[in-house]
Amino acid sequence: MTRHLSSGEISEWAAGARSRRSEDHLHECAECRGELSRLQETLSDFRACVRAWSAQDAAASMLKVRNRTSAESVVRGLMKAPPRLRWALIAAATVLLAVIPIYRANRPQPALDSSLDDAVLLEQIDEGVSRAVPAPMEPLATLVSEGSSAAGNQTKRKK
């Protein structure tokens, strides 16, 4: 028996580029036939998913077209309206757009519990003040204190 078909040869077979040697081998080798069958099943599943997605996408596109058409018909209907009605609608929209920011700016804001914020701030200040050395310099302070204790031990030995 010859060597098994490579994945490239199996892919070529599935794509339609079939050689006599690979055809003979597939008739003889159950393992390569199984690999080809799994590849064809995978491709079949992929094809079914693409078709389902395409059908779903087409339905969504049709819905968008319908919605756009109805919006366009509203605009066309508005353009066919008498000029006084059009100007009244434009004025109403302008007033509405001007009133919304004013309403939002004058809306009462919920009262924040400032006592909680004050307590947190005081704790942070207390922590910062009670430190002997600022946090970025703590490694240096540790190094200096270890060095000074070692120097103190050496002076005690000399005496």
Per-residue pLDDT of the chain (159 residues; tens, 9 = 90+): 468 888 888 888 888 888 888 888 888 889 988 988 888 888 888 888 888 887 777 777 766 666 666 666 666 676 777 778 778 888 888 888 888 888 777 777 666 566 667 778 788 888 777 777 777 777 777 777 666 665 555 555 555
Residue 20 lies in a domain: yes
**One-letter identity of residue 157:** R
| Residue 3 falls inside a structural domain | yes
62 lies in which domain range?
A: 1-105
pLDDT attached to residue 1 = 46
Beta-carbon contacts of residue 23 (< 8 Å; ≥ 6 apart): 13
In a domain, 145, yes or no: no
**DSSP conformational letter for 16:** T
pLDDT at 51: 83
Does 91 fall in a domain? yes
The values of phi and psi at residue 4, to 5°, are: -70, 160
- Number of structural domains, the chain? 1
Q: Is residue 114 part of a domain?
A: no
In a domain, 138, yes or no: no
CA distance 96 to 91: 9
Please state the pTM of the whole predicted model.
0.36
Is 116 inside any structural domain?
no
**Residue 134 falls inside a structural domain:** no
